[in-house]
Amino acid sequence: MSSLAHESTKPEGVFEQFETLDQQQDTYMIGMWAFLVTEVMFFGVLFLAYAVYRWKYQSIFYEVHNELDLLKGGINTVILLTSSLTMALAVRFAQLNDKRGQLRMLGATLCGAFGFLVVKSLEYSAKFQHHHFPGPDFRWEDPTVPASVAQLFFSLYFAATGLHGVHVIIGILVISSLAILVARDHPLVKGDYIPTEMIGLYWHFVDLVWIFLFPLFYLIPK
Amino acid sequence: MNATAQTHAHEPNYLEAGHSVRSWLLTKDHKRIAILYLISTAIFFFVGGLAAGAIRLELTSPKGMMLSSDTYNKMFTAHGVIMIFFFLLVAVPAVLGNFLIPLMIGARDLAFPRLNLLSWYMYMAGGLFAVLALLLGGVDTGWTFYTPYSSMYSNSQVTLTIVGAFIAGFSSIFTAVNFIATIHKMRAPGMTWFRMPLYCWSHYATSVIIILGTPVIAITLLLVVIERAFKVGIFSPELGGDPILFQHLFWFYSHPAVYIMVLPAMGVISEVIACFSRKRIFGYQFVAFSSVAIAALGFLVWGHHMFISSQSMYQGVVFSFISYLVAVPSAVKIFNWSATMYKGSVWLASPMIYALGFIGLFVLGGLTGLYLAGLATDVHLTGTYFVVAHFHYVMVGGSILAFMAGIHFWWPKMFGRMYNENLAKYNAIVVFIGFNLTFLPQFILGYLGMPRRYHYYYFAPEFQFYHILSTAGSTVLGFGFIVPVFYLLHSLKYGAIAGPNPWGAKGLEWEIASPPPVHNFHTIPIVRQEAYAYDAVAEEQVLDEERERTKVKN
Amino acid sequence: MAYSTPHEPASFHAEHVTPVATLLKAYAALITLMVITIATALAPHYVASEFFNSQIGSVFNNLVAMTIAVVKALIVLLIFMGLRNGSKTVRLYAVMGFVWFLLMFIVFADYGTRQWEPVRGWEPIAPGSMPRQRGSSEPDIERTPAPPPLSTIPGP
């Protein structure tokens, strides 16, 4: 979208603040990684809070975590890893300028994302039914485990997985917007693989967070 | 570098290109966005200043005369929240940084112009939430939002204010991402990292701090909001949580935040001192690396805000030690600036007066920080007016004075008009006097034991003398901040037309017309000299190289 | 300055296109590692070994789980996210992000060196029973109910 009024010797598709295409692409990559650094620190706080409390309450957390549905967590992990693969393939197709392949893979990623949310909502609804959502309605039956610490565990669990879920939803919005733009040959993405790569980076990051969330919450050792 | 300014008569400057509101509100031009930020930060500054005025007025009487305690709490919270989140964190980077960084490195715009505009809109949205919170009753937790008061017991507009700060935080993050990408990738050919103006180094370091720190406070405050909304929390003792964890997470960002506020200011000072001493900055690499060192070390000292919070003593020792260390890179800068002025040809223009004020006041503030870094002394001084004076010395005497220096230095570049320099000089001195009158007595107050955030001090009526001095000073200081608004605005219409380089400074931004054309540079310059090539030797070098090049060509 | 000739469509060439085989191998590795993590975590239930069911076993399990998670993360970062072929700057930023996250663990200098069981200074409140003050200005006296006298604290 070069729209300089006066003479332009730039190739098509290079924005006016950049001189060359390489410069533009490298700049977008650096910008995206800088943004991912902020996301690392964003989730990092929750991981830190979790680490602090687990350090203190390891055995209690072990007891409480048995309430979590390992099967659903495992399924979600597989779904997310697979969607990461399809996203990487989508980026690859974008790099090779293969529109159909790219759209297929983006669609597959979206399916994975939706699947993740479906499984997650099943998990959450089971938790709500058992009154394990922290707050005034929280109920904990097991007398050997202090209810307050159980509530703490669930606060951390819902904060971390909830934030992750929000990022999945944002990912869905962004990926579907990308798919629509690609399908319509919009100049922003036509022939340019960088937007896909940037969104791919975001989606892989979402997967990364889950790679750590899953063992930390679902696989607490005794 | 071209010795003559690049002027192309047909090219409009950025102020002339489009006069509609739409052309301003939908602009992608970094210079226009900088002006938008200038107007909005100035408004927030005066709102925060009104809150400060209320505080100072109230404290002239030991019993408290106008405000109820609750309202007083809301006043100092408002003052803190607005000044920190909506002025100090934003002013130098978003106003001067946005305007100048592309100009200084020889680029046509920032890396992501639309993201830049989004940053401003997010800043305004955040500000809107904060103002809304003020109008709906204010918040009384202090700008530090300590739990469990903020998360469980306060009845004030905590959620709204936090949402405002959250959004403003993301505005800051986007600006930082923009700066990082720009400085990495869009420098003009020949401008290596070590030929870049130190102003850009300081903004780069600031941007790194922003991306590493702001998300932490964003999520911490979000957790407070969640605790308020859902009555669940990880900071509440009833759940087996620890309120001190909030403090750890809060200060993990908020200490580096003060470096976000001061590093860009130091960048301004580097530029101003070099120009008005007609000398290159002494020890360029040391100053550049000290910015990076401040950024890195600044993350390792947050515990010094928590020495009396019941955190472990061993942690206190670690943080105390590193806090002493972090003073070193700042001192390096002060020494280098002083060495720059030594045997330089010092011109006491108004920006330079502000810069000299910065050096004096920042040193004082920094030195008093050392008392606070020591565990034993901090036990007595923390939570008193000593701390208040300390941080106002570095933040106002430091950052705000540098912001004034920057505005005065680059005003002719930004608007093509020169303001009344004599008036500006007198005003700078008024600011200096007013500032010292306001905050020097506060050191004494703190030492004598006056606690901060206290509405009344009827138990110690001997403090009243110092409070009255302080309030008198704050009136002078307020005056000193209001007067520039008038002469600067006046200059826009009636000021002398400024040429491309009224101060005779070195730097790519001074090579183009004032105000700059829309796309900054007609042709991207090729940089062959170091920054601040003020001495004759460097000039000769460049001329020699030019001669060599032309010889080879022929 | 490397401008191509005017009006030539930009060659949006990608520098490094990861082959499909590499991506599939990475995926296989990730799934395998996930299975291993789950197996090690469930081991104490199914393996009647002293080791697995002891405190050391628990630490060992933690370590194994985290190591595997880090390896999986590295696979995602290097192969899926392209850091293997990335520029130095981008790699620096990726490293910096994780290093800074680890810096936050300095907080353990505090939590590891003090006894921080929150001391009950009051009876546990029933949810929703805490009186919340509504309304505006009030006299400058305490608003929340005073805590019970010290003698009723149940002890640390």
Which residue from B181, B226, B242 is facing A159, i.e. has the nearest CB? Answer: B226
Looking at residues B451-461, what average pLDDT do you find? Answer: 92
**Touching check for A68 and chain C: CB below 8 Å?**
no
Q: Do B212 and A37 touch (CB under 8 A)?
A: yes
Contacts (Cβ under 8 Å, ≥6 apart) of A52: B242, B245, C107, C108, C111
- What is the CATH superfamily name and number for domain A26-218? Cytochrome c oxidase, subunit III, four-helix bundle (1.20.120.80)
Q: What is the pLDDT of residues B381-427, one digit of tens each?
A: 999 999 999 999 999 999 999 999 999 999 999 999 999 999 999 99
Q: Is residue C84 part of a domain?
A: yes
CB atoms within 10 A of CB B4: 7
| Residue B154 pLDDT | 86
- Asked if residue A59 has pLDDT above 90, the reply is no
Q: Tell me, yes or no, if A125 comes closer than 8 A to chain B by beta carbon.
A: no
For B377-400, b where at least 16 C-beta lie within 10 A, e where not — what string?
ebeebbbbbbbbbbbbbbbbbbbb
CA distance C87 to C82: 10
* Residue B410: how many other CB atoms lie within 10 Å: 25
Work out the average pLDDT over B149-177. Answer: 93
Backbone angles phi, psi at B536, to 5 degrees: -65, -35
- Pairing of β B496-497 and β B417-418: antiparallel
**Are A29 and C72 inside 8 Å of each other by CB?**
no
CA torsion sign for B411, B417, B422, B427 is negative
pLDDT digits (tens, 9 = 90+) for A169-216: 999 999 999 999 999 998 888 888 999 999 999 999 999 999 999 999
Q: What is the mean pLDDT of chain B?
A: 92
Picking from A17, A31, A42, the nearest residue to B113 by CB comes out as A17
Which chain A residue has its CA at the smallest distance from C59's CA? A221
Q: Between B9 and C21, where is the model more confident? A: C21
**The Cα angle at residue B189 between residues B185 and B190, in degrees rounded to 5:** 115
Q: What's the pLDDT tens digit per position in B32-41?
A: 999 999 999 9
pLDDT digits (tens, 9 = 90+) for B233-272: 788 877 777 889 999 999 999 999 999 999 999 999 999 9
Chain C nearest-CA residue for B213: C100
ipTM attached to this prediction: 0.91
Q: Is the preceding peptide bond at B515 cis, omega within 30 degrees of 0? A: yes
- Give the A:C interface size as CB pairs under 8 Å: 171
pLDDT score recorded for residue A197: 93
Please tell me whether residue A130 adopts helix, strand or coil conformation.
Answer: coil
Whether A48 and C105 lie within 8 Å, measured CB to CB: yes
The predicted model scores a pTM of 0.90
Domains and CATH numbers, chain B: 27-553 (1.20.210.10)
Instruction: Specify the pLDDT at position B537.
Output: 62
Q: What are phi and psi of B497, to 5 degrees?
A: -70, 130
Does any domain span residue C103?
no
What's the CA gap between B232 and C148, in Å, rounded? 24
Please tell me the distance from the alpha carbon of residue A144 to that of residue A141, in angstroms, as a whole number: 9
CB contact (8 A) between residue B211 and residue A26: no
More confident residue, C14 or B290: B290
Structure tokens at B172: 């800051």
Asked if B374 contacts B320 with a C-beta cutoff of 8 angstroms, the reply is: yes
| B91-105, C54-68, C78-92, C124-138: segment of lowest average pLDDT | C124-138
Is residue C101 included in any domain, yes or no?
A: no
Span B476-487, pLDDT tens digits: 999 999 999 999
Q: In chain B, which residues have their Cβ closer than 8 Å to the Cβ of C109?
A: 312, 314-315, 318
Using 50, 70 and 90 to split pLDDT, how confident is the model at A140?
confident
Give the separation between CA B406 and CA B92, rounded to whole angstroms.
Answer: 8
Distance CA A98, CA B149 (A): 57
Distance CA A96, CA A125 (A): 42
Measured from the Cβ of residue A127, the count of other Cβ atoms closer than 10 Å reads 18
pLDDT score of C126 more than 80: no
CB–CB of A37/A187 below 8 Å? Answer: no
Using CB atoms, which chains have 3+ pairs under 8 A with B?
A, C
Which of C69, C81, C97 lies closest to A201 in CB terms? C81
The residue written with tokens 């060192």 in the block is B293
Written as six digits, the tokens of B87 are 């002025």
Q: Residue B535's pLDDT band (boundaries 50, 70, 90)? A: confident
Residues on chain A touching B173 (C-beta within 8 angstroms): 35, 38
CB contact under 8 Å between B108 and A16, yes or no, is: yes
**At residue A102, does pLDDT exceed 90?**
yes
Q: Which domain holds residue C53?
A: 20-96
Cα nearest neighbour of B245 on chain C: C107
Number of domains in chain C: 1
**Could you say which of A9, A25, A44 has the minimum Cβ distance to residue C3?**
A9
Taking contacts as CB-CB distances below 8 angstroms, the residues of chain B near C116 are 242, 244
SS (H, E, C) B480-532: HHHHHHHHHHHHHHHCEECCCCCCCCCCHHHHECCCCECCCCCCCCCCCCCCC
Amino acid B124: pLDDT:
97
